[in-house]
Amino acid sequence: MIRCALEERPGGLVARITIDNPAKLNILSAEVLRQLALAVKSSGENPKVRAVVLTGAGEKAFVGGAPLETLGSLDPRSAREFITLIHEACAAMRECAVPVVARINGWCLGAGLEIAACCDLRLAAGHAVFGMPEVRLGIPSVVEAAMLPRLVGTGRARWLVMTGETVDAQRALSWGLVEEVIPVETFDAQFDRRIDALLAGEPEAMRAQKRLCRLWEEAPLAESVRASIDEFEASYADGEPNRRVAAFRAARAKR
């Protein structure tokens, strides 16, 4: 089950999407994957939403992977259908018009780590654990596991997908798998402060930055630079940078 709530914060509206099956570590059934992709897409299409927060219910898991019952019952046709659902959920994070932040509050395994890798930022509680155990079940890690080399480098990505072993939050931080590790005792308060910092950016500039960040990951350098010039020009169409720079200079003069 997916829960989606809109939260008004000082900097604007945040969509909080929760994978809600804590008794089973918020695992990703086919129906949950469909609901997740739809919830992220709908949130990104809402012009009032400034950011999306994705998390798992409870204190034990972000996402504990896919159901073993499902993985153990697939045939070639249904395997393709199921992995395509995982890809579509991952793609929704990357295609979302606004930043998507993973609030990683525990186990983050398999498809859960693929989804986290497709978020723009990953903030983890101190007890979070990460892993890609599929190879131990006779299954290669696929689809958006391809994001892992971009995050942690080829050697560490191979270590994750070839050994199936887990890493704790501090090692994930040192590898670049997450942007920050926050003590469990202060996780919610500090996480919300990070979201408020993200909301300080001008809304349209943030949407442009999201488009560019995705392009930088996928396109050749020359194309990325050309697109960046176009986005810079377009940002001045309504005069918002001029107004913001003037306000900043006026505030600085008063100080």
Name the catalytic one among 7, 134, 144, 204: 134
Exactly one of 8, 114, 231, 233 is catalytic; which is it?
A: 114
CB 104 within 8 A of CB 178: yes
* Residue 148 DSSP label: H
Catalytic residue list contains 114: yes
Q: Is 233 a catalytic residue?
A: no
Helix (H) or strand (E) holding 90: helix 76-95
Question: Dmax of the chain from CA atoms?
Answer: 69
Q: Is 181 left (phi over 0), alpha (psi -120 to 50) or beta?
A: beta
Q: What are phi and psi of 167, to 5 degrees?
A: -125, 145
Give yes or no for a contact between 50 and 14, defined as CB atoms under 8 angstroms apart.
yes
Distance CA 39, CA 68 (A): 24
Q: Which residues are catalytic?
A: 114, 134
